[in-house]
Amino acid sequence: MKKREFWMLVTPSLVVMVGLLAVPLYRTIEWSLQNVNYGDPGTFIGLSNYTTALTDPRFGRAVVFTVGLTLVVTAILLVLGYLLAVAVNRLHRMRPIVLGLLLLAYVIPGLVGATMFSWLFDSNFGGPVNYLIAHVTGQDLLWFTDTWPNRVVLTLNIVWFLLPFAMLVILAGLQSVNPEVLEAAKIDGAGPFRLHWNVIIPSVSGVIGFVILISLMDVLRVFDPLVALSPQAAAIGNESIMFYIYSVAFKDGGQQLGLGSAINVLLIIIIGIMLIPSIRATAREGSR
Amino acid sequence: MRTSLRTNGALALTAVAALGLAACGAGSKTASSTAAQVTCDVAKPSKPTTVNVLAYNSSAIDPYTNTMVSSCSKNDYTLKHEPIDFPGQVQKTTATLAGASGTYDIVETYGFVIPQYGSQNKLAPLNDLFTKYADSYKLNDISKDMRAAMTYDGKLYALPMQAQMYIMAYRKDVFDQVGLQPPKTFEEMKTAAKTIQEKAGIKYPIALPWLATGDIVTSYDCILGSLGVNLTNFDTKTANFDKPQAKQALDEMIALKPFMDPQVTTFAQPAVQQQMYNGTGAIAIMFSGRMNDLTLEKNSKYAKSFAFAAPPKVAADSAKLYDTLSVDGWSIPNNTAVDKDALFQMIASSVSEEASKASLPAAYPARSGMVSDSSSPYAAAANVSITSAPPAEPYPWTADVSNKITPIIANAVLGKITTDEAVVQMQQAATAAIAAAK
């Protein structure tokens, strides 16, 4: 490839990456060191925003909640995604239809999906899940104001939204497993559990690592579901870091863009730390 | 083949019709048929000009927006309005007013934010333009009180279009069934609620918008206002949460909880409407702009059973009702590049007599004498409510104080802190907000 062709092909991507990644990142870091209000030039205040964020108990609660939610959701996505992928992989003529239906959740905008999801649990809007639970147990659960029921609803919604992606990626991995290896394992007497645990899963470890990577990034930045499903997230300890940033920097004319940027930088660091094992595993897989 | 073609043709026609219908109502809660055709003779600009209008969608605001967009989009002026909800408008207003140039040329504002933006010189004073066009657009017919609500430091920063006040909606069939009259005090309201719980089987009869991140502070302010105390004192520039009424207001809220849905702190006004629609609530108090929806049979099988009254007082000896008056109007950002004279004529057109009539019964127009007791099922209640609301607090720090005390009120109502702790925290937060605004 000629140098000129190389640059012609690379330049559009470079422009997009610089414009949409590098510049905002630079701006975020710059603002995190400033006191910034809308429309005014920022004033340098050193690490004051970081001190404010790190000494705010609300930030601590948001970090604990977000990291906990991320670990739980990622684990569920892996298990359910794998089981679902195995089930779909066994289908033949029905596979496109089932796949299409499963992917519906993924193509519905997050906020719309979360709002519809909230109606399942909201007696004010019918609330069939509430009705069923009340019918069976005689209890009314406060899904939106009690901490743990609300966490269950949030987890279910995020899993519902992200599961199709996890399933699809793992399904692609399953289809690349060498059938001869599977046949050999069966001849050697491997039962279904050993077949999956010792043969198939190691064969698709690369895609599993990829699912973990994407899931961690997605759930650590969770925002949309909380808008519809946790109207008083901060008060019940279910505020995500992104939701906290939004409250600080934008909501009700909050305007603390500097503080919001500092929390954003801290979030990037947290995401980086949590992704290290996953990135290393994926890199190892790639270098094989 | 012919059948297939006919079927496909019918489907295509249906799709086109659906798109057409969607386009007609695009951006508005009410269809653009609510738009009146009014005179909007703005002189042609030197080049084609787009005017961006920022206004949230509701059945009370849409008629004015629709009128302006449909009547003033001519002579090389194109008015654009994208659908948006109220929280979205709040954020976009903050952003568009921030810099040297903004995205919007006309913004919908309300009395609560006028002092803040006026004191920051973000809105254009309209006094001269008001005088210039007072006769041609009959602007002196707009209520003086509402103009005062849009004035800060002697400068008119918005042309009022309509007002919203609290109204109490109640299930008359249920009240008749158990022999109740509409409550006139909080004590009567609690007694009525208890009776409804016991005799009519409605578990959570009282429905109020108490969203922990927003509406709850309005409710608190209404109680405090009915008890005769403002959030802050303008003369001394101090907060009033060290007064006994500040704690009493929180106690009054907590005393209502046994009669309200346990998840009420997640309810904004649409959720309260929903409680009334589906019959799980029997007494609702919210802004008048939400009342028309209750009267529509397509929304609820109880539509004909709803009756309306002015909200109650908090205490029998209160001078004012549990109430608040919010005036909506049009403002012109100082940072717009469009000719302000032309923009003023557009907003004056949209609050004309014809447009105001078209807004009935959903809105309470700012033009005097537009709403008689028979204008709508809730007009009489609105006319009482508007004269008995606590005074507004048009100070530059009011919005910030409200934002700061909102989570504290929520924590007190949720029982996470005591009311004694809450008032101390509120006093501290409000004092800091006032100091920052000085």
Residue B4 located in a structural domain: no
* Dihedral class, residue B281 (left if φ above 0, else alpha if ψ from -120 to 50, else beta): beta
The highest-confidence range among A182-191, B110-119, B241-250, by mean pLDDT, is B241-250
How many domains are contained in chain B? 2
Do B244 and B229 sit in the same domain of this protein? yes
- DSSP for residue B197: I
Residues B273-307: b if buried by 16+ CB within 10 A, e if exposed:
bbbbbeebbbbbbbbbbbbbbbbeeeebebbebbb
Do B148 and B186 sit in the same domain of this protein? no
| Residues β-bridged to residue A44 | A34
Q: Residue B207 has what pLDDT?
A: 97
Task: Provide the percentage of residues in chain A whose pLDDT is more than 70.
Answer: 98
Do B358 and B278 sit in the same domain of this protein? no
The answer, yes or no, to whether residue B16 has pLDDT greater than 50, is no
Alpha-carbon span B37 to B358, nearest angstrom: 10
Beta pairing class for B106-110 and A43-44: unpaired
Q: Residue B32 has what pLDDT?
A: 54
Do B418 and B402 sit in the same domain of this protein? yes
The answer, yes or no, to whether residue B221 has pLDDT greater than 80, is yes
What value does the mean pLDDT of chain B take?
Answer: 89
Q: Residue B317 has what pLDDT?
A: 94
Domain range for residue B102?
29-162+327-374
Pairwise CB contact (< 8 Å): B98 & A125: no
Q: Residue B17 has what pLDDT?
A: 39
Pairwise CB contact (< 8 Å): A254 & B403: yes
Residue B10 located in a structural domain: no
Residue B19 located in a structural domain: no
Pairwise CB contact (< 8 Å): B212 & A235: yes
Nearest CB to B407 within list A40, A143, A235 = A235
Q: What is the pLDDT of residues A151-160, one digit of tens each?
A: 999 999 999 9
What residue in B sits closest to A36 (Cα-Cα)? B98
Do B224 and B151 sit in the same domain of this protein? no
The answer, yes or no, to whether residue B355 has pLDDT greater than 60, is yes
Q: Residue B21 has what pLDDT?
A: 38
Residue B128 located in a structural domain: yes
What residue in A sits closest to B87 (Cα-Cα)? A252
Do B261 and B398 sit in the same domain of this protein? yes
Confidence label for B230 from pLDDT (cuts 50, 70 and 90):
very high
Pairwise CB contact (< 8 Å): B91 & A250: yes
| Full DSSP string of A60-96 | HHHHHHHHHHHHHHHHHHHHHHHHHHHHHHT-STTHH
Do B217 and B198 sit in the same domain of this protein? yes
Consecutive H or E run containing B247: helix B244-256
Q: CA-based Rg of chain A, rounded to a whole angstrom?
A: 23
B98 CB neighbours in chain A (<8 A) are 37-40
> What's the CATH architecture for A52-287?
Orthogonal Bundle (1.10)
- DSSP for residue B123: B
- Which residue carries 């005014």 as its tokens? A40
The answer, yes or no, to whether residue A103 has pLDDT greater than 90, is no
Residue B15 located in a structural domain: no
Average pLDDT over residues B249-274: 95
Q: Residue B11 has what pLDDT?
A: 39
Q: Residue A287 has what pLDDT?
A: 66
Q: Residue B6 has what pLDDT?
A: 41
Any A CB within 8 A of B200 CB: no
Confidence label for B2 from pLDDT (cuts 50, 70 and 90):
very low
Give yes or no for a contact between A221 and A242, defined as CB atoms under 8 angstroms apart.
Answer: yes
Average pLDDT over residues A214-237: 93
* Dihedral class, residue A147 (left if φ above 0, else alpha if ψ from -120 to 50, else beta): alpha
The answer, yes or no, to whether residue B23 has pLDDT greater than 60, is no
Distance of CA A27 to the CA centre of its chain: 24
Pairwise CB contact (< 8 Å): A144 & B99: no
Do B175 and B126 sit in the same domain of this protein? no
The answer, yes or no, to whether residue B26 has pLDDT greater than 60, is no
Do B152 and B184 sit in the same domain of this protein? no
Higher pLDDT, B377 or A253: B377
Confidence label for A174 from pLDDT (cuts 50, 70 and 90):
very high
Average pLDDT over residues B224-247: 96
Residue B239 located in a structural domain: yes
- Which residue carries 């609702």 as its tokens? B284
Any B CB within 8 A of A250 CB: yes
Alpha-carbon span B265 to A146, nearest angstrom: 11
Alpha-carbon span A156 to A151, nearest angstrom: 8
Do B43 and B116 sit in the same domain of this protein? yes
Alpha-carbon span B239 to B243, nearest angstrom: 9
Nearest CB to A124 within list B95, B265, B274 = B274
State whether residue B76 is helix, strand or coil. Answer: coil
Sequence length of chain B is 438
Q: Residue A250 has what pLDDT?
A: 80
Higher pLDDT, B281 or A93: B281
Higher pLDDT, A192 or B183: B183
Do B115 and B216 sit in the same domain of this protein? no
| Residues β-bridged to residue B164 | B326
Residues A6-45: b if buried by 16+ CB within 10 A, e if exposed:
eeeeeeeeeeeeeeeeeeeeeebeebbbbbbebbeebeee
Do B310 and B334 sit in the same domain of this protein? no
User: Of A106-110, A268-272, B412-416, where does mean pLDDT reach its minimum?
Assistant: A106-110
Phi, psi of A185 (to 5 degrees): -65, -40
Any B CB within 8 A of A37 CB: yes
Q: Domain map of chain A by residue range?
A: 52-287
What residue in A sits closest to B417 (Cα-Cα)? A235
Nearest CB to A231 within list B91, B213, B407 = B213
Average pLDDT over residues B313-318: 95
State whether residue B339 is helix, strand or coil. Answer: coil
| Residues β-bridged to residue A222 | none
Average pLDDT over residues B231-257: 96
The answer, yes or no, to whether residue B245 has pLDDT greater than 70, is yes
Q: Residue B20 has what pLDDT?
A: 39
The answer, yes or no, to whether residue B354 has pLDDT greater than 50, is yes
Number of neighbours of residue A215 by Cβ within 10 angstroms: 26
Alpha-carbon span B26 to A208, nearest angstrom: 44
Q: What is the pLDDT of residues B365-390, one digit of tens each?
A: 999 888 888 888 999 999 999 999 99
The highest-confidence range among B10-14, B352-356, B425-429, by mean pLDDT, is B425-429
The CATH number for B351's domain is: 3.40.190.10
Sequence length of chain A is 288
Q: What is the pLDDT of residues B63-85, one digit of tens each?
A: 999 999 999 999 899 999 999 98
In 3D, which of A219, A99, A116, A207 has the Cα closest to residue A159? A219
What value does the mean pLDDT of chain A take?
Answer: 90
Output the CA–CA distances (angstroms, integers) from residue B69 to B27, B32, B48, B124, B343, in the order listed. Answer: 11, 10, 16, 21, 12
